[in-house]
């Protein structure tokens, strides 16, 4: 959803790099995967 993406972009400081966003995304995915694993066990 473009509106949600725009909202998310507003939350990102101007000086954040693509690498920082990538690592944040990886951490988020790991967190979600861990939560799913715990929920299914």
pLDDT in tens, 1-41: 667 666 666 766 777 788 888 999 999 999 999 999 999 98
Distance between CA atoms of 37 and 41, rounded to whole angstroms? 6
For residue 38, what are the CA distances in angstroms to 30, 31, 34? Answer: 12, 11, 6
What is the pLDDT, as a whole number, of residue 35?
A: 94
pTM of the model: 0.53
Query: Contact, 18 vs 9, CB < 8 A?
Result: no
CA torsion, points 16, 18, 21, 27, in degrees to nearest 10? -130
Residues listed for the chain = 41
């Amino acid at each position: 959803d473009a509106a949600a993406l725009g909202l998310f972009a507003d939350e990102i400081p101007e000086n954040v790099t693509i690498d920082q966003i990538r690592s944040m995304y990886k951490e988020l995915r790991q967190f979600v995967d861990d939560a799913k694993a715990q929920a299914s066990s």
